[in-house]
Amino acid sequence: MDIQQLPKDLNQHGFQKAAELLPMVTVKQGIEKLETITEILEDFQAVAIDFSDDISILYAQVRALSVYDETYQEILLRDLHYILQEVLTPAHDFASILMEEAELKEAITWYQQAMQGDSDAQLALGKFYKTINRDNWAFGWYEAAANAGNPDAIYWVGNYYFDGIIVDKNFKKAFTCYKKAALKGHPDAMNNYADMYFRGEYVEKDVQRAFKLFSIAAQRGVAESMYTVGYLYKNGIGVAMNLEKAKHWFIRSALAGDDYAANHLGQEAFEQDNGEDALYWFQMAADRQDALGKFNLGFCYESGTGTPMNIKKAKYWYQQAALQGDTEAKEKLKGL
């Protein structure tokens, strides 16, 4: 949005006071800047603008701000611009954000604390904005918390660079963030740090080093790493093949919540004609709302694997999988 054009646009929309005050925002400093922003927002309040839900939250946060650290004035001005954009070009198609009054108050408190340099609040605010699909707001706060040394924030900044969301995809920066957070003890960062060695992303592929790093993450409780360690042991990648250790890690991973591991154990049991174990692991994945687990459970009931044949239950689980987009389940339903 053109900052020089904004006052003219505000004037055309009948917000004369806001138009007069806006040029002063970039000139004034500290509390005077904040007071000017508050006056601008009061001009909009007078006509009861129907903001979209996300902008309504941002409006409430900025309105409640009484003090801020100059370090974050760019974010403050950015937030003001988003509000002005909504005033001048109202959104028509936007998702509904359901929030209790207590939740809104908490979001306002995070904003106030974040603007004063509280890295925990900055991290919480980043996560909150991400949940309402405002990654463009979240990244700045993740970055601020990361600059303060917060390991979780550093990890999330790495994710943004790895996925190329909001910022350009940059494996070098992602790797640097994952390594930094991993060395600070962040388990998920250690998993991603290991994965970049395993795949050869930015760094030269090194499966032995990847195995060691995955093992650290697994010991720290990362279910995905537990599964990967099991996979590496099973296939002898980066470590000597050891099926007993592979099974150990697959089980730990499944019990820790990894549905890939649960389905893997179920499939393995099925191939070994151990129907009861297959049913157990598929049921575990299905109960955690995994589509593949639901399909596999439906197959168990259809074929009588580990349980008496029950077409009614088979249809139920195929339907549950189909509702999550499983095409094979849809084909099964047609056949039944």
Is 156 inside a domain boundary? no
Q: Which residue has the higher pLDDT, 49 or 38?
A: 38
- Which pTM was predicted? 0.89
Q: Is residue 167 domain-resident?
A: no
Q: Would you state the pLDDT for residue 95? A: 67
Residue 49 has pLDDT above 80, yes or no: no
Place of tokens 């687990």: 293
Q: Per the domain annotation, does 48 fall within a domain?
A: yes
> Domain boundary at 102, 129, 148, which?
148
CATH code of 204's domain: 1.25.40.10
State whether 125 and 75 are in the same domain: yes
Task: Please tell me the least confidently modeled range out of 93-97, 105-109, 259-263.
Answer: 93-97
Within the chain, where are the H helices?
6-12, 16-25, 30-45, 53-63, 73-88, 101-114, 119-131, 135-147, 151-163, 171-183, 187-199, 207-219, 223-235, 243-255, 259-271, 275-287, 291-303, 311-323, 327-335
Structure tokens at 154: 């550093």
What is the gyration radius of the CA atoms in the chain, in angstroms?
Answer: 26
Same domain, 196 and 230: yes
**Do residues 252 and 267 share a domain?**
no
Residues 132 and 2 grouped into a single domain = yes
The verdict on 61 and 125 lying in the same domain is yes
68 and 115 in contact (C-beta within 8 Å)? yes
Q: What is the pLDDT of residue 30?
A: 85
Task: Check residue 90 and give its pLDDT.
Answer: 77
Q: Specify if 242 maps to a domain.
A: yes
| 325-335 tens-digit pLDDT | 999 999 999 98
pLDDT given for residue 48 in this prediction: 63
State which of 210, 232, 256 marks the end of a domain: 256
Q: Which residue has the higher pLDDT, 28 or 203?
A: 203
Position 88 scores a pLDDT of 86
> Which pLDDT band, with edges at 50, 70 and 90, does 96 fall under?
confident
Using the predicted structure, report yes or no on whether residue 246 has a pLDDT greater than 90. yes
In a domain, 153, yes or no: no
136 and 186 in a common domain: no
pLDDT tens digits for range 192-231: 999 999 999 999 999 999 999 999 999 999 999 999 999 9
User: What are the distances in angstroms from CA 263 to CA 195, 218, 227, 228, 305?
Assistant: 21, 19, 11, 14, 15
Judgement on whether residues 236 and 284 belong to the same structural domain of the protein: no
Average pLDDT over residues 139-163: 98
Domain total in the chain: 3
The verdict on 38 and 133 lying in the same domain is yes
Asked whether residue 34 is assigned to any structural domain, the reply reads yes
> Which residue segment(s) compose the domain that 119 sits in?
1-148
> Does the structure show a pLDDT above 70 at 86?
yes
Q: How far is residue 8's CA from residue 18's CA, in Å, rounded to a whole number? A: 10
Q: What is the mean pLDDT of the chain?
A: 94
Within a domain: residue 1?
A: yes
Copy the structure tokens of residue 49.
């603008």
| Residue 94, token pair as written in the block | 């936007």
Average pLDDT over residues 104-125: 97
Chain-centre distance for alpha carbon 27: 37
Residues 328 and 198 in one domain: no
pLDDT greater than 80 at residue 93? no
Query: Is 158:167 a contact under the CB 8 Å cutoff?
Result: no
290 and 210, same structural domain? Answer: no
Report residue 45's pLDDT band, with 50, 70 and 90 as the boundaries. confident
- pLDDT at residue number 54: 93
Q: What is the pLDDT of residue 3?
A: 59
Q: What percent of the chain has pLDDT over 90?
A: 80
* Local confidence band at 336 (pLDDT 50, 70, 90 cut-offs): confident
Residues 204 and 81 in one domain: no
The answer to whether position 158 is within a domain reads no
Domain boundary among 231, 256, 281: 256
Residues sharing a CB contact under 8 Å with residue 87, sequence separation 6 or more, in sequence order:
10, 13, 15, 44, 49
Does residue 97 share a domain with residue 204? no
Of residues 120 and 98, the one with the higher pLDDT is: 120
Q: What is the pLDDT of residue 2?
A: 54
Query: Which whole number is the average pLDDT over 182-194?
Result: 98
